C-alpha cells in the first residue's frame, strides 16, 4: 500500500503559524488536521488534510518532563470532531530544524495511543500523526481495516509553489 498525503497551502501555513506560537508553559504546541480518504487506484491511497484545529492553551497539562502534554479534554474534543464530521484526525507537531523529521522515543510511545482512541470512534476514517520540520514532513497513517500504521510515502502541499515535503 502506498499512501500519499496532500494539504492545501492555507491549511499548512495555518498549522505552521499555530505550532510556532509560544505556549504559556508547554515547550511546544500540538494540533490536529482533519482528513479525508480517497482511492488513487491500484494499491495507492490518498489522504487529504483539509482543516487544521489548534489545541486551546487550557487543554495542555503542565508537565515539565515533556515538550507538550495535552489533556483529556483535548482528546475528547478531537474524538467528538471525528463523530460530528465523519473525518479522520491527524495529530501534528513541529520539530524545529530543516530536513526530514523523525519521531522521538516519546512520540513513538505516546502518539499511537492517541491514534488508537481516534480509530475507536472513527474506524472508517484515516487517522495518524504527522511531524513537520521547517521544510519537510513525516507521517504515519492508520487506514480503515489495516492491521497497523503505515508510513506515508509522499506528502505534498498544493499552493504557490507546490511543495514536496516527503
Residue 89 sits at φ, ψ, to 5 deg, of: -135, 140
Query: Is residue 11 part of the contact set for another protein (CB under 8 A)?
Result: yes
43 sits near another protein (criterion: CB under 8 A): no
Q: Is 106 in the site for another protein (CB under 8 A)?
A: no
SS (H, E, C) the chain: CEEEEEEEHHHHHHHHHHHCCCCCCCCCCEEEEEEEEEECCCCEEEEEEEEEEECCHHHEECCCCCCCEECHHHHHHHHHHHHHHCCEEEEEEECCCCCCCCCCHHHHHHHHHHHHHHHHHCCCCCEEEEEECCCCEEEEEECCCCCCCEECCEEEEECCCCEECC
Closest contact distance (angstroms) between CB of 90 and another protein is 14
Under the binding rule (CB under 8 A), the answer on residue 91 touching another protein is no
What is the closest distance, in whole angstroms, from the C-beta atom of residue 96 to another protein in the complex?
Answer: 21
Q: Which of 48, 75, 82, 137 binds another protein (CB under 8 A)?
A: 48
Nearer to another protein, 147 or 160 (CB): 160
Candidates 16, 18, 36, 144: give the one binding another protein (CB under 8 A). 36
Q: Please tell me whether residue 145 binds another protein under the rule CB under 8 A.
A: no
Instruction: Provide, rounded to whole angstroms, the least separation between the CB of residue 49 and another protein.
Output: 9
Interface residues toward another protein, by CB under 8 A: 4, 6-11, 36-41, 44, 46, 48, 50-51, 85-86, 154, 156, 158-162, 164
Amino acid at each position: 500500500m502506498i499512501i500519499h498525503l496532500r494539504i492545501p497551502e492555507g491549511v499548512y501555513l495555518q498549522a505552521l503559524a499555530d505550532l510556532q506560537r509560544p505556549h504559556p508553559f508547554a515547550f511546544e504546541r500540538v494540533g490536529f488536521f482533519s482528513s479525508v480518504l480517497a482511492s488513487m487506484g491500484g494499491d495507492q491511497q490518498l489522504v487529504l488534510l483539509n482543516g487544521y484545529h489548534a489545541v486551546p492553551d487550557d487543554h495542555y497539562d503542565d508537565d515539565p518532563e515533556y515538550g507538550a502534554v495535552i489533556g483529556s479534554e483535548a482528546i475528547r474534543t478531537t474524538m467528538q470532531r471525528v463523530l460530528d464530521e465523519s473525518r479522520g484526525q491527524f495529530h501534528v507537531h513541529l520539530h524545529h530544524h530543516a530536513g526530514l523529521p523523525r519521531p522521538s522515543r516519546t512520540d513513538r510511545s505516546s502518539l499511537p495511543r492517541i491514534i488508537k482512541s481516534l480509530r475507536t470512534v472513527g474506524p472508517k476514517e484515516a487517522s495518524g500523526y504527522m511531524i513537520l520540520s521547517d521544510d519537510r514532513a513525516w507521517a504515519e497513517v492508520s487506514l480503515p481495516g489495516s492491521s497497523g500504521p503505515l508510513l506515508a510515502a509522499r506528502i505534498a502541499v498544493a499552493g504557490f509553489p507546490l511543495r514536496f515535503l516527503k
